[in-house]
Amino acid sequence: MLWNLMMHTLMGWLGAYFFILTPERIGIAILAVCMTQAVDQVRLRKMKWAEIESLPEKERKSATAELEKTINRDLALTFAQNVVIYSSVVLFAAHAVRLNGWL
């Protein structure tokens, strides 16, 4: 979470004059965040399967069935939530940099 926050703040800071508050530039910010979060979905999926593999053999079968049943919904909700949060971070950071002349 902290890595994502720092990465998207840096994207906003370095793209301060690119991520302007116009519909086109907001759309590009959302698209950029969608790409970063799509890659993050791979990490999240691997992390969830690693948790299952660390369980004892007896619990693994039921946990695997439960994970297979819910993983797509959980990842979709996480993706949507993170796109909203980190798009806001990118746009807010870019706006703060422009207002304060930090670049």
The pLDDT of residue 102: 82
**What is the C-alpha to C-alpha distance for residues 30 and 94, in angstroms, rounded to an integer?**
13
Q: How confident is the model at residue 65 (pLDDT cuts 50, 70, 90)?
A: very high
- Mean pLDDT score of the chain: 93
pTM for the complete prediction?
A: 0.84
Is the distance from CB of 45 to CB of 63 less than 8 angstroms? no
Per-residue pLDDT tens over the stretch 8-18: 999 999 999 89
Burial class (CB in 10 A: 0-12, 13-18, 19+), 65: exposed
Outline where the chain has alpha helix (H): 2-14, 23-53, 57-100
Q: How confident is the model at residue 44 (pLDDT cuts 50, 70, 90)?
A: very high
Q: Is the pLDDT of residue 103 over 90?
A: no
The pLDDT of residue 1: 79
